[in-house]
């Protein structure tokens, strides 16, 4: 069973997930497949634009509109049944008003019933205790007095007995007070069969009505208030309908204003994203390719939580070819590179301090892989970047390296992360380059990759050497 901690304190997984979205941005190896979905394209554009407050405003406006719409539908849809419901509510309320259940009444009656059922035993036991304390020869008070009287003269010879006589005197006083309390209790307490019958009947009535309404007896006062509120709502249905219509109209207007602002921000960000991704694609070997983001705003139709825009990524692999939806024209290799460009570009504009790229370089190699590595290295100059890769050209660009190792022991598989020193980095890169047997040529190549990576000027454009 997994456990979540924040600052060393146990936390709900939901809270950890919400916090993680502000601290870590994860880009997986299958992101290029998700990129084909319209909602993912819209989300990526919104992340690049950085207008989360506009997206949230549209979401709030949509919820307000939907709540007003649903309330109006609920009120209007029951027009034919409203009178029948009113009559039923009036009958139920008359029954509850006659019963008049009070807050906490049921619990108090249950306690009183328990006391009355055991009252005979309570009184008899109290009388027996009173007799044992004082009302017979050899009672507790008599015996205490006798022992004290016998010991008191002896204190002249044995001072240690003084404390004993004092304790006996105190015990006698307390026993006397207890006897007096029992005396008063037995004098004022009488068996009352009539009260017992009344309590039983009252509890039976409360339970009968509670069963009829399928609630607990202690919930009857709350039920009465709820039914009264519902009756008032139905009796003032026409006025309520007018209020809801006004609220719905106002909510729709506010939604349109929020959606309009979001659309304007999306169109502005779409132009910037298209230019940035197109530039990145040229550097990743897609010379002549073009990428644009199309934002189509619907004038009609019901509001949605994401706004009125349909976001579509358009792509052209070669000069002269028309732009078409990315899902219908990009090959697997092209889609991988476009996805990588989008992820890196969008990540550069988000404020998340840690970026994780999990094998996002799948489907590329050679010179393009080296350029991807440089791209990630430059991104690492701005924030923390963790990259999981099997390509030596990409791995060489890292400032630090960690090897992930798995081992089986006693039927269990464990995973260990091992940071590498400088010499170990070279050896691991050589292993990635040369396979099982690592020769001098692979080591030299690994050394050159590390040297070239460390010699880069972070401010130089990607693709330069």
Q: Which domain CATH number covers 294?
A: 3.40.50.300
Q: Mark whether 189 and 317 lie in a shared domain.
A: no
Spell out the residues 6+ positions from residue 323 whose beta carbon is closer than 8 angstroms to its own.
Answer: 290, 292, 314, 315, 316
Q: Which of 199, 234, 269 is the last residue of a domain?
A: 234
**pLDDT at 120 (0 to 100):** 75
CB atoms under 10 Å from CB of 70, counted, come to: 12
From the number of C-beta atoms within 10 Å of its C-beta (0-12, 13-18, 19+), residue 285 rates as middle
**pLDDT at 461 (0 to 100):** 41
**pLDDT at 182 (0 to 100):** 83
Q: Tell me: pLDDT of 329 over 50.
A: yes
Q: Mark whether 121 and 193 lie in a shared domain.
A: yes
Model confidence pLDDT, tens digit, residues 382-419: 788 898 888 898 899 998 999 988 888 888 888 889 99
Task: Report the distance separating Cα 42 and Cα 399, nearest Å.
Answer: 33
Domain assignment of residue 110, given as a range:
86-234
How many domains, the chain? 2
Q: Mark whether 317 and 355 lie in a shared domain.
A: yes
Angle at 393 between CA 407 and CA 446, to 5 degrees: 80
Q: Mark whether 202 and 288 lie in a shared domain.
A: no
**pLDDT at 1 (0 to 100):** 60
Q: Tell me: pLDDT of 350 over 90.
A: no
Q: Mark whether 222 and 266 lie in a shared domain.
A: no
Q: Mark whether 106 and 52 lie in a shared domain.
A: no
Residue 176 lies in a domain: yes
Give the confidence band of 59 by pLDDT, cuts at 50, 70, 90.
very high
**pLDDT at 110 (0 to 100):** 86
**pLDDT at 231 (0 to 100):** 87
Q: Mark whether 171 and 212 lie in a shared domain.
A: yes
Question: 232-249 as b/e, with b when 16 or more CB fall inside 10 Å?
Answer: eebeeeeebeeebeebbe
Give the confidence band of 47 by pLDDT, cuts at 50, 70, 90.
confident
Q: Tell me: pLDDT of 239 over 90.
A: no
Q: Mark whether 228 and 267 lie in a shared domain.
A: no
Model confidence pLDDT, tens digit, residues 62-92: 999 999 999 888 877 665 577 788 889 999 9
H or E element: which one contains 405?
strand 402-409
**pLDDT at 464 (0 to 100):** 36
Q: Mark whether 280 and 211 lie in a shared domain.
A: no
Residue 465 lies in a domain: no
Residue 464 lies in a domain: no
The three state secondary structure string of 306-361 is CCCEEEEEEEECCCCCCCEEHHHHCCHHHHHHHHHHHHHHHHHHCCCCEEEEECCC
74 or 218, which is more confident: 218
What are the angstrom distances between the C-alpha of 247 and each of 75, 79, 113, 299?
14, 20, 52, 21
Segment 451-455 mean pLDDT: 86
Segment 194-203 mean pLDDT: 86
What are the angstrom distances between the C-alpha of 135 and each of 139, 172, 173, 180?
7, 14, 16, 11
Identify the top-confidence range among 230-234, 309-313, 413-417. 309-313
Residue 66 lies in a domain: no
Q: Mark whether 55 and 104 lie in a shared domain.
A: no
Q: Phi/psi at 175 (nearest 5 deg)? A: -65, -40
**Candidate from 219-233, 254-268, 358-372 with smallest mean pLDDT:** 358-372
Q: At what angle do helices 237-283 and 38-49 cross, to 10 degrees?
A: 80
Segment 200-222 mean pLDDT: 90
Residue 80 lies in a domain: no
**pLDDT at 332 (0 to 100):** 65
Task: Report the distance separating Cα 294 and Cα 323, nearest Å.
Answer: 10
330 or 424, which is more confident: 424
Task: Report the distance separating Cα 45 and Cα 270, nearest Å.
Answer: 7
**pLDDT at 462 (0 to 100):** 40
CB atoms under 10 Å from CB of 228, counted, come to: 15
User: Mean pLDDT score of the chain, rounded to an integer?
Assistant: 84
Q: Tell me: pLDDT of 157 over 80.
A: yes
Q: Mark whether 264 and 400 lie in a shared domain.
A: yes
Residue 246 lies in a domain: no
Residue 157 lies in a domain: yes
Q: Which of 218, 234, 250 is the last residue of a domain?
A: 234
Spell out the residues 6+ positions from residue 173 whose beta carbon is closer than 8 angstroms to its own.
Answer: none
Residue 366 lies in a domain: yes
Give the confidence band of 463 by pLDDT, cuts at 50, 70, 90.
very low
**pLDDT at 69 (0 to 100):** 92
Q: Phi/psi at 432 (nearest 5 deg)? A: -65, -35
What share of residues in the chain are helix, strand, coil (percent, to 5)? 65, 10, 25
Model confidence pLDDT, tens digit, residues 9-43: 888 888 888 788 778 877 766 555 667 788 889 98
Q: Mark whether 145 and 273 lie in a shared domain.
A: no
Identify the top-confidence range among 154-168, 266-280, 330-344. 266-280
Least Cα distance to 123 among 192, 186, 196 occurs for 186
Rounded to two decimals, what is the model's pTM?
A: 0.54
- Do the Cβ atoms of 256 and 301 come closer than 8 Å? no
**pLDDT at 275 (0 to 100):** 93
Quote the tokens at residue 361.
């370089």
């Amino acid at each position: 069973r997994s456990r979540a901690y924040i600052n060393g304190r146990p936390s709900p997984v939901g809270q950890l997930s919400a916090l993680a979205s502000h601290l870590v941005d994860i880009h997986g190896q299958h992101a290029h497949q998700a990129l084909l979905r319209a909602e993912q394209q819209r989300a990526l554009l919104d992340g690049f634009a950085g207008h989360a407050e506009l997206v949230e405003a549209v979401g709030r406006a949509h919820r307000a509109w939907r709540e007003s719409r649903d309330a109006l539908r609920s009120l209007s849809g029951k027009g034919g049944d409203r009178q029948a419901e009113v009559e039923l509510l009036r009958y139920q309320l008359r029954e509850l008003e006659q019963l008049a259940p009070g807050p906490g009444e049921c619990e108090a009656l249950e306690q009183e019933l328990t006391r009355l059922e055991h009252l005979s035993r309570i009184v008899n036991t109290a009388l027996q205790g009173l007799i044992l304390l004082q009302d017979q020869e050899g009672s507790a008070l008599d015996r205490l007095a006798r022992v004290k009287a016998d010991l008191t003269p002896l204190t002249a010879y044995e001072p240690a007995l003084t404390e004993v006589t004092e304790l006996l005197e105190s015990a006698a006083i307390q026993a006397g007070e207890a006897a007096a309390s029992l005396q008063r209790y037995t004098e004022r307490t009488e068996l009352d069969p009539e009260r017992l019958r009344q309590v039983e009947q009252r509890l039976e009535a409360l339970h009968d009505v509670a069963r009829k309404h399928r609630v607990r007896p202690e919930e009857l006062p709350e039920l009465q208030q709820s039914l009264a509120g519902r009756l008032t709502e139905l009796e003032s249905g026409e006025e309520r309908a007018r209020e809801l219509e006004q609220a719905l109209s106002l909510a729709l207007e506010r939604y349109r204003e929020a959606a309009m602002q979001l659309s304007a921000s999306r169109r502005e960000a779409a132009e910037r994203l298209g230019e940035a991704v197109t530039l990145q694609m040229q550097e990743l070997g897609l010379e002549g390719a073009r990428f644009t983001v199309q934002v189509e705003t619907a004038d009609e139709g019901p509001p949605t939580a994401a706004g009125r825009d349909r976001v579509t990524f358009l792509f052209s692999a070669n000069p002269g070819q028309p732009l078409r939806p990315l899902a219908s024209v990009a090959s697997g290799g092209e889609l991988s590179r476009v996805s990588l460009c989008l992820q890196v570009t969008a990540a550069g504009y988000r404020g998340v301090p840690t970026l994780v790229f999990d094998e996002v370089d799948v489907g590329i190699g050679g010179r393009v892989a080296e350029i991807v590595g440089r791209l990630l290295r430059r991104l690492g100059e701005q924030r923390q970047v963790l990259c999981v890769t099997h390509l030596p050209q990409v791995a060489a660009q890292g400032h630090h390296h960690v090897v992930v190792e798995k081992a089986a022991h006693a039927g269990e598989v464990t995973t260990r992360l091992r940071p590498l020193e400088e010499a170990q980095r070279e050896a691991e890169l050589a292993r990635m380059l040369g396979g099982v047997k690592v020769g001098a040529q692979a080591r030299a190549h690994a050394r050159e990759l590390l040297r070239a990576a460390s010699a880069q000027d972070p401010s130089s454009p990607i693709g330069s050497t």
